[in-house]
Amino acid sequence: MTPELTHFVGGKLVPGTSGRFADVSDPSTGAVQARVPLASAAEVTAVVDAAAEAQREWARWNPQRRARVLMKFLDLVRADEDRLARLLSSEHGKTVADARGDIQRGLEVVEFAVGIPHLLKGEFSDSAGTGIDVYSMRQPLGVVAGITPFNFPAMIPLWKAAPAIACGNAFVLKPSERDPSVPLRLAELFGEAGLPPGVFSVVNGDKEAVDTLLVDPRVEALGFVGSSDIAQYVYEQAAAHGKRAQCFGGAKNHMIVMPDADLDQAVEALIGAGYGSAGERCMAITVAVPVGEATADALVERLAKRVRGLKVGASLDESVDFGPLVSAAAVQRVRDYLDIGIAEGAELVVDGRDLTVPGHENGFFLGGCLFDRVRPEMRIYREEIFGPVLCIARAADYEEALRLPSEHEYGNGVAIFTRDGDTARDFTARVNTGMVGVNVPIPVPIAYHTFGGWKRSGFGDLNQHGPDSVRFYTKTKTVTSRWPSGAKESASFVMPTMA
Ligand code: NAD
């Protein structure tokens, strides 16, 4: 019997009742290891009922008391980290070491959220007028929801839930149906940490669940992370239903390699950032842009050797560089892009399609692939491939290299490798992209700064985590107050001013 996963509602694991399920695979073997229930609209509504009820009391807890639950949660996740990392790896396919990074980057935002009481303090103007004080309060929104992708099943739910909860909201998570077990386990740990039932819920599902959250008037804000077309759909629907939304989408992250870059550094950076997690990261480097033919030739020669030597295997095998892709469909999608790239005239310098992993013949594996001479008009340049495929787009000079990421429709991350501070400074100032690395290939900002891409990589005006998350998950109330005694003024028909 295939194990059946659940939802997490009212502080408990609850079986699905819709009768609809999706398969959860073990990507290393290709076998179905569990079935996840796909919630009906009625089930989602019941989750929102429980969340709305719990939120009223949660918002009355003082901020520091709320933060203490998160402190306890941090300890519990750390104590459970080995088990969580293996669980994550077995459903996603990333290595256990990489799964630990997924959990750790999530916990760093929980650590940030423990300090959120400091950011909930409002502003105060003493004597803004005669005897008049003006102050603002940050109040929770109520029920908020997060819809998250398969590729960071611990980190992204925590990026959203921890600030939302610390601000006094109830949070409903609709995780990816491809790897739902880690979110369910995190929900249990929130409960063990003392979070009241209903403040954090997990509702598993697909479009039906998302559409129900989009129209429920009690859901005040939606945070989405996933592919761009769906990010845009969620953003538009949320706005049409009067909700706040921040929706993060796909990416095509470039790394510029200047002629003066340390080539050994650049090659190692590209190998890690291009092929780590089989390229299934929104901040993966997918386009390397060497400047000048000599730089390009040297870079391609060294990269090709390294890509051919990459070790690919089962995700629980500690000796591998990266594991399988998440699903058979994901492998097919990447294979289709390889065919498209060849047909478009790009040069496939390293072809990873023939890879077999002994003992895991049905796993969703693909070896590292390297395309050279990729041009901006090609689909493999314009579209997100989301696999272990690095494209080399040669640029004649710095200005052309700067134009490529700046004019691309995605604008998540970008990096430049150079030894020249002047070039780096010019690049960081002018490039049209949300997050920039200087000699850093994956510039994911730390928890107390904010994360967000530009253009089709991000819809909405506030980023994830950092101070923006407090702005997103609270509304500002501004109070003007005075306590006059004695003589009352007569009615004034003139607009009050601070003259
Ligand atoms: P996806 O868009 O397929 O799914 C994301 C979420 O949307 C899931 O919870 C899914 O169940 C739901 N969903 C799927 N189809 C839907 C529909 N038609 N209507 C409503 N909801 C729907 O994305 P994925 O494959 O899980 O994740 C990979 C994508 O996420 C890549 O494009 C990657 O770049 C992106 N991503 C972006 C960031 C970022 O911060 N910008 C971070 C991680 C991943």
Report the residue among 44, 176, 224, 332 best suited for mutation to probe ligand 1: largest number of ligand atoms under 8 A from its CB: 176
What's the CATH number for 253-438? 3.40.309.10
Centroid of ligand 1 to alpha carbon of 148 (angstroms): 6
CB 347 within 8 A of CB 301: no
Q: What is the pLDDT of residue 487?
A: 65
Centroid of ligand 1 to alpha carbon of 249 (angstroms): 7
- Work out which ligand 1 atom sits closest to the CA atom of 386: 31
- Work out which ligand 1 atom sits closest to the CA atom of 452: 40
Two tokens, residue 60:
């009355």
Report the residue among 7, 20, 150, 202 best suited for mutation to probe ligand 1: largest number of ligand atoms under 8 A from its CB: 150
CB 290 within 8 A of CB 58: no
Centroid of ligand 1 to alpha carbon of 60 (angstroms): 34
Residues 6+ apart with CB under 8 A from 160: 146, 148, 171, 173, 223, 464
What span, in angstroms and rounded, lies between the C-alpha atoms of 267 and 247? 32
pLDDT digits (tens, 9 = 90+) for 270-281: 999 999 999 999
Q: Is the ipTM here above 0.90? A: yes
423-451 mean pLDDT: 98
What span, in angstroms and rounded, lies between the C-alpha atoms of 130 and 355? 78
Residue 282 annotated to the active site: yes
Which protein residues are within 6 Å of ligand 1, measured from CB?
147-152, 174, 176-177, 206-207, 210, 225-227, 230, 248-251, 282, 384, 386, 412, 453, 457
Centroid of ligand 1 to alpha carbon of 174 (angstroms): 11
**Distances, alpha carbon 232 to alpha carbons 37, 145, 223, 245, 330, in Å:** 26, 16, 12, 10, 22
Two tokens, residue 408:
């691309």
Report the residue among 159, 236, 281, 282 best suited for mutation to probe ligand 1: largest number of ligand atoms under 8 A from its CB: 282
* Domain chopping of the chain, boundaries: 7-249+457-479, 253-438
Q: What angle do CA 18, 24, 28 make, to 5 degrees?
A: 175
Q: What is the pLDDT of residue 154?
A: 98
Name the DSSP letter for residue 446: P
Centroid of ligand 1 to alpha carbon of 347 (angstroms): 30
Q: Band the pLDDT of 78: cuts 50, 70, 90.
A: very high
What span, in angstroms and rounded, lies between the C-alpha atoms of 63 and 69? 10
Two tokens, residue 420:
């020249």
CB 498 within 8 A of CB 132: no
pLDDT digits (tens, 9 = 90+) for 374-387: 999 999 999 999 99
Q: Which residue has the tokens 């859901």?
A: 219
What's the CATH number for 7-249+457-479? 3.40.605.10
**What is the secondary structure of 54-102 as a DSSP string?**
HHHHHTTS-HHHHHHHHHHHHHHHHHTHHHHHHHHHHHH---HHHHHHH
Residues 6+ apart with CB under 8 A from 308: 350, 368
Percentage of residues of the chain with pLDDT beyond 90: 96
Catalytic residue (one of 167, 247, 282, 391): 282
Q: What is the pLDDT of residue 1?
A: 87
**What is the secondary structure of 164-206 as a DSSP string?**
HHHTT-EEEEE--TTS-HHHHHHHHHHHHTTPPTTSEEE---S
pLDDT digits (tens, 9 = 90+) for 94-117: 999 999 999 999 999 999 999 999
- Work out which ligand 1 atom sits closest to the CA atom of 211: 20
What span, in angstroms and rounded, lies between the C-alpha atoms of 152 and 20? 24
pTM: 0.96
Of 486 and 233, the structure prediction assigns the larger pLDDT to 233
Q: Which residue has the tokens 């300090």?
A: 115
Two tokens, residue 155:
């980190």
What span, in angstroms and rounded, lies between the C-alpha atoms of 80 and 240? 41
Two tokens, residue 176:
């990816």
What span, in angstroms and rounded, lies between the C-alpha atoms of 53 and 119? 26
**Distances, alpha carbon 397 to alpha carbons 78, 286, 311, in Å:** 48, 20, 34
Percentage of residues of the chain with pLDDT beyond 70: 100
CB 219 within 8 A of CB 144: yes
